[in-house]
Structure 1
Amino acid sequence: MKLSIVITTYNRLQLLKRAIDSAVRQTIPCEVVVADDCSSDGTQEYLNNCREKFSESGKFRFVYHRNEVNSGHAATVNAGVLNSTGDWIKFLDDDDYLAPNCLEEITRAIALRPQAVIVSCMAAQINEQEVELSRTPQLGAGLAFYTPQADIHYGMLLELLPFGTPVQVACRRDVFLQTGGWDSKLDTNCDDIDSWINLAKFGDAIFINQCLAYRTIWQGACNHKFSLSRRLNTNLVMKEKIYALVNEKHHAHIPALKDIQNYLKLHWLLVALKQKNFQSLNNIMFFSSPAIFSWQAWRLLFNALLNRRNSNSAQIQKYVLIK
């Protein structure tokens, strides 16, 4: 099985160097594809030099793709995947990086569950000085486990199975292409989550309870450019899409869509309050007041908080791969 690391970048050369370094230091051979969204900060010259240097070493295949015009993050991800040749794609944004054994552990888990189409791992959130701020929680038992396709969308709906950000995720290339790739209409506002939803239609999911990825939390992150109210609206669209895909085996105990929507409104109200973002708080409050008086919404919020602390849910099947 061949793996490709697809790195997307735009005018972040110093951060990109760290991401590339983490890719070329993997403990197993891989292909490294850098998709550049028409950067103007010297990235092109640097990557052309990388291509020459790495091709001479012969250790792995290094591919550089540059968009002719600035096309956005989603389109750049799609271009990177199209220019790759691996059986599996490991996503990596330029401001994040991977542990050296990331691909090795992913390969090990996939070999034990060939029906899988998507893999996620734990990640550490770091600041600009690479100091760890937090870490995503362990899910289920064992070092790695899989969840069958019939349970994935239900788990995503109730946030029992959060796949996380691109740095945590790998997927089968053929399935990614079959889904049509990332949606440019979303472009960094849940375009990754939308992709995970689509991928999960085609096979099982693997979760690795090891920290194999590092995500930078900083003001330059793409999701900071969206208002909280806009992020709420996109979340509502994602939940509605997931809701329609939940397997019929879960229909008897699935919450009403309206209750889930009210739960999301409560969640983003609390986020705005925590951030002291009073403009977003007023915007969300304007059309979310019924959620405040919904006991079902509060129950879902409380359950979500509990699930983040205790990931061993009996409502979905989790089968241990590696103890």
Structure 2
Amino acid sequence: MKFSIVITTCNRLNLLKRAIKSALNQTVPCEVVVADDCSSDETEKYIQSLGNSVVYYRNEVNKGHAETVNIGVQQASGDWIKFLDDDDYLAPNCIAEMTKAILLCPDAVICSCVAAQMDIHDNELSRTPKVGPGLAFYIPQTDIHYGMLLELVPFGTPVQVACRRDAFCQTNGWDSQFDACDDIDSWVRIAQFGHAIFLNQCLAYRTIWPGAHNQKLSFAHRLNTNIRIKEKIYALVDPKHQLHLPTLQKIKNYLRLHWTLAALKQRNFSSFLSILNKTVFSISSWKILLTTTLSRKSHFHNSNIRKFILIKS
């Protein structure tokens, strides 16, 4: 099995250096690909100074994040792709631990891990929740979309996720119309082709800072994009879960509640008022919110999702 770490970048050389260093310092050999979305800083000069240790491709014109990810994967030769944005970085044993788990589940097409949320000064703010028992947790393909719909299966951001290259290519890569959710949209489509693995180890570090792309999007935009994603997931849920499904409208109402509370938590009162409506007061919305919250805290103990421990803790 060969891993390629695909790093996308645009005019963030100082952050990019850290991302590349974390990729080159993996404890197992892997290919490092940098896809540059037409940077105007010293990125190209720096990459050239690294010699053959990095595969480099630079867009002649700016093509956006999603298309640059697709180009980076095209340049990669590995049969597994580890995604990495230029403002994030990996633990040295990230690829080694993912490889170990994937070898125990060869039909997996997507693998995720716990990530630490870091501020710009590398201080840890929080960690994403663990999923299931043990150090590694396997979910059959037939259960994935049901879990994603109810947010019991949080694959996470690119720094957390790796996928099989052939599955990525079968889905035609990332779709730029899902701005800021192009990664989640990709996970939804990739999950049609095999099983999923979660590693309950912190192997990735995501930087939370004002320069991050998602921080520039309004709450209303993120709500509407999330609704479109949920509509896609809903259509892919395996028939065996149909009896347990809330209606799509209830899911939409829950999303409005979620983003209304998120805006309130961040004291963005204009956004809070713009997305607030009577649906957030529905009992079903609060029930779904409570169910997802409790399920996360109980490490995914849900009777409708089968659990398999790959590596005992």
Q: TM-score range by the shorter chain?
A: over 0.9
Match for residue 196 of structure 2? 205
Task: Show CA shifts across 1:42-99 (max 9, x none).
Answer: 111111111x2xx2xxxxx520010110110001100000000000000000000000
Task: Show CA shifts across 1:160-215 (max 9, x none).
Answer: 1100000000000111011000001223x100000000000000000001000000
Q: Is the 8 A contact 2:47 2:54 kept in 1?
A: no
Residue in structure 1 matching 2:294, options 292, 299, 306: 306
Q: Secondary structure at the match of 2:117?
A: strand
* Separation of aligned partners in 2, 1:7 and 1:226: 22
* Separation of aligned partners in 1, 2:247 and 2:278: 15
Match for residue 21 of structure 2? 21
Amino acid in the other structure paired with 1:219: P
Amino acid in the other structure paired with 2:42: G
Match for residue 58 of structure 1? none
* Separation of aligned partners in 2, 1:309 and 1:152: 19
Would you say 1:178 and 2:170 are equivalent positions? Answer: yes
Residue in structure 1 matching 2:105, options 107, 113, 119: 113
Match for residue 9 of structure 1? 9
* Separation of aligned partners in 2, 1:293 and 1:131: 37
Residue in structure 1 matching 2:279, options 291, 297, 308: 291
Match for residue 265 of structure 1? 256
* Separation of aligned partners in 1, 2:54 and 2:3: 12
- 1:137 Cα deviation after fit: 1.4
* Separation of aligned partners in 2, 1:154 and 1:186: 21
Would you say 1:47 and 2:47 are equivalent positions? Answer: yes
Task: Show CA shifts across 1:83-133 (max 9, x none).
Answer: 000000000000000000000000000100000000000000011111111
Q: How well do the aligned residues superpose, as a CA RMSD in angstroms?
A: 0.9
* Separation of aligned partners in 2, 1:78 and 1:129: 30
Q: Is the 8 A contact 2:11 2:39 kept in 1?
A: yes
* Separation of aligned partners in 2, 1:266 and 1:307: 18
Amino acid in the other structure paired with 1:234: T
Which TM-score applies when normalising by structure 1?
0.95
* Separation of aligned partners in 2, 1:207 and 1:98: 16
Would you say 1:125 and 2:97 are equivalent positions? Answer: no
* Separation of aligned partners in 2, 1:205 and 1:99: 21
* Separation of aligned partners in 2, 1:137 and 1:294: 27
Between the two proteins, the alignment pairs up a number of residues equal to 311
Question: Which residues in structure 2 correspond to 1:154-169 (within 5 Å)?
Answer: 154-169=146-161
Percent same amino acid among aligned pairs? 64
Would you say 1:94 and 2:86 are equivalent positions? Answer: yes
Task: Show CA shifts across 1:221-241 (max 9, x none).
Answer: 110111000000000001111
* Separation of aligned partners in 2, 1:99 and 1:75: 26
Amino acid in the other structure paired with 2:24: V
Would you say 1:137 and 2:125 are equivalent positions? Answer: no
- 1:290 Cα deviation after fit: 2.9
Residue in structure 1 matching 2:238, options 216, 231, 247: 247
Q: Secondary structure at the match of 1:201?
A: helix
Amino acid in the other structure paired with 1:85: S
Amino acid in the other structure paired with 1:211: C
Q: Is the 8 A contact 2:113 2:198 kept in 1?
A: yes
* Separation of aligned partners in 1, 2:32 and 2:17: 13
Q: Is the 8 A contact 2:145 2:236 kept in 1?
A: yes
* Separation of aligned partners in 2, 1:72 and 1:168: 21
* Separation of aligned partners in 1, 2:137 and 2:289: 26
Q: Secondary structure at the match of 2:204?
A: strand
* Separation of aligned partners in 1, 2:240 and 2:230: 18
Residue in structure 2 matching 1:69, options 38, 61, 77: 61
Q: Secondary structure at the match of 1:273?
A: helix
